[in-house]
Amino acid sequence: MSIQQRLAKLNPRQQEAVRYIDGPCLVLAGAGSGKTSVITTKIAYLVQACGMSARRIAAVTFTNKAAREMKERVGQMLEGKEGHGLTVSTFHTLGLNIIRRELAALGYRPGFSLFDPEDAKALLRDLMHKDAQVDAEVINRVQHRISQWKNDLVLPGEAASHATDQDELFAARAYEAYVRHLKAYNAVDFDDLILLPVVLLRDDPDALARWRKRIHYMLVDEYQDTNVSQYQLVKLLMGERATFTVVGDDDQSIYAWRGARPENLVTLGEDFPRLNVIKLEQNYRSTGTILRAANTLIANNPHVYDKTLWSKMGEGAAIRVVVNRHEEAEAERVASEILTRRIKERAEWRDFAVLYRGNFQSRLLELKLQHYQIPYKLSGGTSFFSRNEIKDAMAYLRLLINPADDNAFLRIVNVPRREIGPGTLEKLANYASDRGGSLFAACHELGLEQVLPTRAVERLGRFTHFIDGVRRRMDAGDALAAIRDMLRDMDYEAWLYQNASTPTIAERRMANVWTLIDQLEKSMQADPEDSAASEETETDGVEAAISRLVLRDILEQQAEEDDSDRVQLLTMHAAKGLEFPHVYLMGLEEELLPHRNAVEAGTVEEERRLAYVGITRARRTLTLTLARQRKAYGELMDCTPSRFLDELPEADLEWEGRADKEDPDKKQARGKDAIAGLRSLLG
């Protein structure tokens, strides 16, 4: 299909958004109105109709899943080499690529580590332990605060002046120490992936010029969920030229807790007075009934922009609200219904999605789905990367590219067993910290003999010697072969067998490790980078591939990916941007949706947007379920139906199982209706 034919399939407003390329463009529209479609078509338009090189275009979104879907949709439109060098990624992957190319300018040594949130927490725990008696909750709070500061572009030196009380001051001090240590480890954390590029581009005109030359056009999906630093990244990269298209829906802003600033929509208009704002009003996804429910619900929130959505998809079925005795009955009901409906509707498993507020809600449902042998895919649960064997292998990889990565060192120095105990490690850590170096470097120092028995020094020496050997081989040539040999040589497999309860489990674990290495190889081959990549040595390639794996790990904990024919189980957060013919929303109860914390914190509006996101994922049918009783904190509690149910158009809802809760007047009225209906039937 030619690009002109593709354009012709869009409505006039969408076409305008695709064709407008001279200045900044904002598409502001409700769910299912074709915003993402505008982005994908526009990428093809830029390449095929405007002759722009794909490597000058960067499209960014929030989750891996969304990025992958977008990549697929664009891939179908571009032919042959047209798409070469195109960046379609998450914000964080874009940031990672910038950092990799700008390591020197950023003051990092080659071979940096990307710390996942757990590594970061371990580091904070270490640092704060010296300061005061702090428990896990304090560490979590400080970690969250640091993340907020980073997302708001508040640097360590400035945090103290932003602090409003003692706790904040404490966090600000921890922030400074944390950043200093990260740097010493030659490591960056998840939030740094945006923060570091922003600071670099802001302060280094040469770097800015390099990147402005590299990226000519940017497209941002789900713009309402950008935070301060992400917005700055777009603004810096685009500069005066302002050649960008961002699309968003303020009603779908659901990441305030992670620093998202829906007011970025307003800021955009102020920063770019030439901004061309295009609104889309036709929804191509959902039936009229589903759309009406979504519109009615969200009308309860205050609005900056008014949007009206309509659909030509027909009225469709009523929205069912199923009240269950307890949570188990709720799960049972959803599972058994999917089973029968799949046949009745001639649907596939993948046409069904079950959405919920919190990951824990999936547990019972999983059991029921397993019981009926329904294939399902759980997003955000225990991912591949959270398996122990994968964490071990990743730690080896990280240590190979960055021996200063103490977290990685600690994880595997005694895995498989090398008789290096906690006592030795503690002394080693003290020694390293006195000298201000890494644990790995400390193992090489002669002075270590003075604090550790010779036997311990020898054991550490054997370990570092082993790692050094692998590193030398990686530098010399085939890095992947060196890694594969390392895994064979060190008896990791034997160690797995010793530690697993059955040989089959050990076998599977080792297979997982090889899968990881295969992934690594694939990731090296698929390096989507520009010409700069070809100048990299092979070890750089491994390094890049390893950091990409770590990033994927972090992102996948938010949303995982899979194509096979399975029922999708996911949180409403992870479902953003997706659509399914049949959607079940579970747990429509006070305390759950809206979540108790949100009610206490006065952020019910964000919960309402979350419900809006959930409802608008549905194309043909929507079923809302709730339980009358649910176990919480080990006790069976009575549940109250969610206030959001009252905010939906009563006439579009079909209740089931509410009889005992129903207001007697309504019941009578319904009875009369039924009698009237029967009469008219009987003539």
Binding-site residue ranges for ATP: 29-36, 285
675: CB partners within 8 A, 6+ apart: none
Using CA atoms, how far residue 463 sits from 388, 420, 498, 517, in Å, is 20, 10, 20, 21
284 lies in the binding site for ligand ATP (CB under 6 A): yes
472 given a catalytic annotation: no
Task: CB nearer to ligand ATP: give 73 or 342.
Answer: 73
Task: CB nearer to Mg ion: give 201 or 575.
Answer: 575
Candidate residues 24, 34, 403, 594; the one interacting with ligand ATP per rule CB under 6 A = 34
Report in angstroms how near the CB of residue 615 gets to ligand ATP at its nearest. 11
222 given a catalytic annotation: yes
577 lies in the binding site for Mg ion (CB under 5 A): yes
- Residue 33, binding choice from ligand ATP, Mg ion, none, Cβ under 5 to 8 Å by partner class: ligand ATP
- Residue 32, binding choice from ligand ATP, Mg ion, none, Cβ under 5 to 8 Å by partner class: ligand ATP
Q: Give kind and range of the element (H or E) at residue 233.
A: helix 228-238
Task: CB nearer to ligand ATP: give 36 or 383.
Answer: 36
Torsion of CA 271, 273, 275, 280, to 10 degrees: 100
13, 35, 71, 576: which is the annotated catalytic residue? 35
- Specify the 3-state DSSP secondary structure of 662: coil
87 given a catalytic annotation: no
Place of tokens 């964000």: 606
- Residue 415, binding choice from Mg ion, ligand ATP, none, Cβ under 5 to 8 Å by partner class: none
**Candidates 3-11, 141-149, 194-202, 634-642 — which segment interacts with ligand ATP by CB under 6 A?**
3-11
90, 148, 232, 252: which is the annotated catalytic residue? 252
DSSP 84: T
Counting DSSP H helices and E strands in the chain, the numbers are: 30, 18
- Provide the β-strand partners of residue 247: 27
Task: CB nearer to Mg ion: give 29 or 364.
Answer: 29
Q: Which two tokens stand for residue 201?
A: 């581009």
**Candidates 34-42, 80-88, 366-374, 537-545 — which segment interacts with ligand ATP by CB under 6 A?**
34-42
How many residues of this chain interact with Mg ion, rule: CB under 5 A? 3
Candidate residues 119, 192, 249, 607; the one interacting with ligand ATP per rule CB under 6 A = 249
Task: CB nearer to ligand ATP: give 66 or 124.
Answer: 66
Task: CB nearer to ligand ATP: give 35 or 377.
Answer: 35
Nearest to 18 by CA among 10, 317, 91: 10
Nearest to 251 by CA among 612, 618, 576: 612
Report in angstroms how near the CB of residue 574 gets to Mg ion at its nearest. 14
**Which residues in the 615-654 window bind ligand ATP by CB under 6 A?**
616
Report d(CA 286, CA 618) in Å as an integer.
6
**Which residues in the 14-43 window bind Mg ion by CB under 5 A?**
35-36
Q: What share of the chain is helix, strand, coil (3-state, %, to 5)?
A: 60, 15, 25
Report d(CA 183, CA 407) in Å as an integer.
14
- Helix boundaries (H) for 526-570: 538-556
Candidate residues 3, 6, 13, 14; the one interacting with ligand ATP per rule CB under 6 A = 14
**Candidates 10-18, 102-110, 175-183, 525-533 — which segment interacts with ligand ATP by CB under 6 A?**
10-18
- Specify the 3-state DSSP secondary structure of 479: helix
295 lies in the binding site for ligand ATP (CB under 6 A): no
**Candidates 25-33, 396-404, 541-549, 630-638 — which segment interacts with ligand ATP by CB under 6 A?**
25-33
Q: Which two tokens stand for residue 277?
A: 């704002």
36 given a catalytic annotation: yes
Report in angstroms how near the CB of residue 377 gets to ligand ATP at its nearest. 20
Report d(CA 567, CA 348) in Å as an integer.
8
Is the preceding peptide bond at 12 cis, omega within 30 degrees of 0?
no
**Which residues in the 574-593 window bind ligand ATP by CB under 6 A?**
577, 579
Q: How many CA atoms lie within 13 A of 453 on its CB side?
A: 6
Report in angstroms how near the CB of residue 578 gets to ligand ATP at its nearest. 7
Other beta carbons less than 10 A from residue 60's beta carbon? 28
682: CB partners within 8 A, 6+ apart: none
Nearest to 258 by CA among 612, 556, 606, 586: 606
Q: Give kind and range of the element (H or E) at residue 354.
A: strand 352-356
Other beta carbons less than 10 A from residue 539's beta carbon? 19
Q: What number of residues does the chain have?
A: 683
252 given a catalytic annotation: yes
Phi, psi of 496 (to 5 degrees): -60, -45
166 given a catalytic annotation: no
How many residues of this chain interact with ligand ATP, rule: CB under 6 A? 19
69, 119, 192, 222: which is the annotated catalytic residue? 222
**Which residues in the 518-577 window bind ligand ATP by CB under 6 A?**
577
Q: Is the dihedral of CA 31, 90, 65, 596 positive or negative?
A: negative
609 lies in the binding site for ligand ATP (CB under 6 A): no
Tell me which residue has its CB nearest to ligand ATP.
Answer: 34
6, 13, 14, 36: which is the annotated catalytic residue? 36
**Candidates 133-141, 456-464, 573-581, 652-660 — which segment interacts with Mg ion by CB under 5 A?**
573-581
Task: CB nearer to ligand ATP: give 62 or 492.
Answer: 62
10 lies in the binding site for ligand ATP (CB under 6 A): yes
Task: CB nearer to ligand ATP: give 214 or 608.
Answer: 608
Active site residues: 35-36, 221-222, 252, 617
> Where does this chain bind ligand ATP (CB under 6 A)?
9-11, 14, 29, 31-37, 249, 252, 284-285, 577, 579, 616
